[in-house]
Amino acid sequence: MEKIPASEITPEHLYFTRRQFIAAASAVAAGALLSACGVPSPPPTARPTIAQPSPQASKGVDELGDKLTPFDTITNYNNFYEFSLDKEDVAPRAKDFKTSPWTVQVGGLVNKPRTFGLEDLLKFEQEERIYRLRCVEAWSMVIPWLGFPLSKLLAQVEPQSKAKYVRFETLLDPKQMPGQRDSYFDWPYVEGLRLDEAMHDLTILATGLYGKPLPPQDGAPIRLVVPWKYGFKSIKSIVKIDLVEAMPISFWMESAPNEYGFYANVNPDVSHPRWSQATERRIGEFSRRKTILFNGYADQVAPLYAGMDLRKNF
Amino acid sequence: MLHALRTQWLRVVVHIGAWIPFAVIVWDALTNQLGAEPIRETILRTGKTALILLVLSLACTPANTLFGFKSALKVRRALGLYAFFYALAHATMFIGVDYGFDLALLQGALLERPYALVGAAAFLILLPLALTSTKGWMKRLGRRWTMLHRGVYLAALLVIAHFVWLVKLDVREPLTYGAIVLLLLALRIRLIREGVVRLRAL
Ligand code: HEM
């Protein structure tokens, strides 16, 4: 195990301040909803990214005290159908994936459409976020991401008042992504969020993990991370972000509409039609553990869904 | 002499072959090669092996009736029993190891999930077949033994349903197995069987 220099460790008081801030910010975001272009950005508690030669994280645990999943596991067990259907075969197949140059085209119902180069995106202050990732297949990890709130990017393009949803698209490049040559699936991968979900401070665009740039198999060079939703919502290798009026139809909704809804919030009481979601296996652990509502982020995100029937809106 | 050698040869292949997937699982477990989710991996591998052995056991009778491959009949029982043992390991891994016999959790994970229910139904059909697979039971049950053991087709179809139901999106693999089972079932229908035999005689 890599020893963490004392200077790298976020002081505990800062850490708690940040969590409390996030709670407050989400309340604001929930209230401000669609006019939320001006949501305040969180204070810069985390240090900027420097690509580290070896995996680095400021702490060994998440806020619930659960251990981080090892770097090697996070980078060798991936659902990324663009490369392979076999989770352990993604890393070898993705290893030559070219992520530079890379651009993300942000447009749709915005006042200032813009194409961001990866360099521009790395100029947003990169902070560490230790999040649980819960896959719909009932396994989970704890991952120290590096990235920045999506809200900061959206603020720059100024969503119009008609914009209600955000639609994301993965790169379409069958030459580099062998899985996309299989026309059984509806490429490219598409995901979507409601605008208030997208503006929520927990929602980030990740560019790295464990202090290193994102490896291709984890969605390089830039991916979404929405920690209270099943992993498939956190779309990888994004090239296009559009603000739209109608709810986007995601890859999974398109493929199996009765099984995958738009929201896909982690919820132990709403079973997938095929399998139960009551428990999960944290990678590396022997026994199953109980799945928690909104993956443990209920304090921050439950207000987004106030009054909604979570069974109907699965 | 030559004939005896041939039947023995197939038996040896079946008995060694059927243990290989088990040996590989044990080896991978000991050398940490079952991946990030070893329990699930074991469930998947034992399930797949059970299905393949079951399909092979179903292929034995047509191999004889259509191609005159008599020795296939000699390994039919062994293939069926191995299929059952892998299914037993599969179900035990799920119920006992994955869920630690936690009845409250299993209620939601097994009894309320159609894919698991059909898997369990298939297993409950295979159980009496395995128990009555001996010569003694065959004699004791007579015609009823044949009737009872036709249940293996139902079990196979339930396993196909189990497989189709549990995959996330890509049903091509389970449907391929499904097509093989349906073909093997069709070959047992007298008209089709006789048709194929006649075609071969041409
Ligand atoms: C009590 C009975 C059974 C239970 C509870 C059960 C449960 C399961 C579970 C939990 C999975 C894996 C789902 C996943 O993690 O994605 C699975 C997969 C599978 N099971 Fe079963 N099963 C049962 C009986 C059977 C039987 C009798 C057979 C075959 C003879 C069988 C064949 C399979 C196959 C082929 C797979 C898929 C393997 C793959 O995807 O590679 N199962 N079963």
**SS3 state of residue B15:** helix
pLDDT range class, residue B7, cuts 50, 70, 90 = low
Q: Give the pLDDT score at A311.
A: 86
pLDDT-based confidence at residue A53 (cuts at 50, 70, 90): low
- Closest protein CA for atom 20 of ligand 1: B47
CB contact under 8 A, B115 and A275: yes
Share of chain B above pLDDT 70, in %: 97
Predicted local distance difference test score (pLDDT) of residue A1: 43
Rounded Cα–Cα distance for residues B155 and B16 (Å): 25
**If you compute the radius of gyration of chain B from its CA atoms, what whole number of angstroms results?**
18
Between β-strands A139-149 and A279-282, what pairing exists: parallel, antiparallel or unpaired?
parallel
**For B48-68, what is the mean pLDDT?**
95
Average pLDDT, chain A: 86
Kindly tell me if the per-residue pLDDT of B175 is higher than 80.
yes
Rounded Cα distance between A197 and A294, Å, is 13
Average pLDDT score over residue span A115-124: 96
pLDDT, tens digit (0-9, with 9 covering 90-100), for A271-281:
887 888 999 99
Higher pLDDT, B98 or B8: B98
Domains and CATH numbers, chain B: 2-201 (1.20.120)
What is the mean pLDDT of the segment spanning A34-60?
55
Residue A17 has pLDDT above 70, yes or no: no
**What band does B190 get if pLDDT is binned at 50, 70 and 90?**
confident
SS (H, E, C) A93-117: HHCCCCCCCCEEEEEECECCCEEEE
Confidence check: pLDDT of A8 > 50 = no
Query: Which domains does chain A show, CATH number per domain?
Result: 22-305 (3.90.420.10)
Inter-chain contact A274–B113, Cβ cutoff 8 Å? yes
Q: Which residue, by CA, sits nearest to atom 13 of ligand 1?
A: B166
Say if CB B160 and CB B171 are below 8 A apart: no
User: Which residue among A184, A252, A279 sits closest to B105, beta carbon to beta carbon?
Assistant: A279
Exposure of A113 by Cβ count < 10 A (0-12 exposed, 13-18 middle, 19+ buried)?
Answer: middle
Q: So what's the ipTM on this one?
A: 0.85
How distant is the Cα of B84 from the closest Cα of chain A, in angstroms?
Answer: 24
- Give the mean model confidence (pLDDT) for residues B44-72: 94
pLDDT class for B6, splitting at 50, 70, 90?
A: low
Whether A268 and A290 have beta carbons less than 8 Å apart is answered as yes
Per-residue confidence (pLDDT) for residue A245, from 0 to 100: 97
pLDDT of residue A28: 40
Pocket of ligand 1 (CB under 6 A): B 40, 43-44, 47-48, 50-51, 54, 83, 87, 90-91, 94, 110, 116, 119-120, 122-123, 126, 159, 162-163, 166
Contact: B36, A77; criterion CB under 8 Å: yes
Where does the pLDDT of residue A65 fall: very low under 50, low under 70, confident under 90, or very high at 90 and above?
Answer: very high
Could you give the CA distance from residue B87 to residue A79 in angstroms, rounded to a whole number?
27
Q: Name the more confident of A132 and A31.
A: A132
Q: Are the C-beta atoms of A61 and A48 separated by less than 8 Å?
A: no
Token readout for A169 is 């698209």
Q: Does A77 contact chain B (CB < 8 Å)?
A: yes
- Within 8 A by CB and 6+ apart from B155, the residues are B54, B122, B125, B126, B129
Q: Which of A85, A274, A283 is the closest to B36 by Cβ?
A: A283
Portion of chain A with pLDDT greater than 70, in percent: 83
Decide: pTM greater than 0.90. no
The residue of chain B nearest to residue A73, with distances taken between CA atoms, is B36
Q: Is the pLDDT of residue A226 over 80?
A: yes
The pLDDT of residue B155: 98
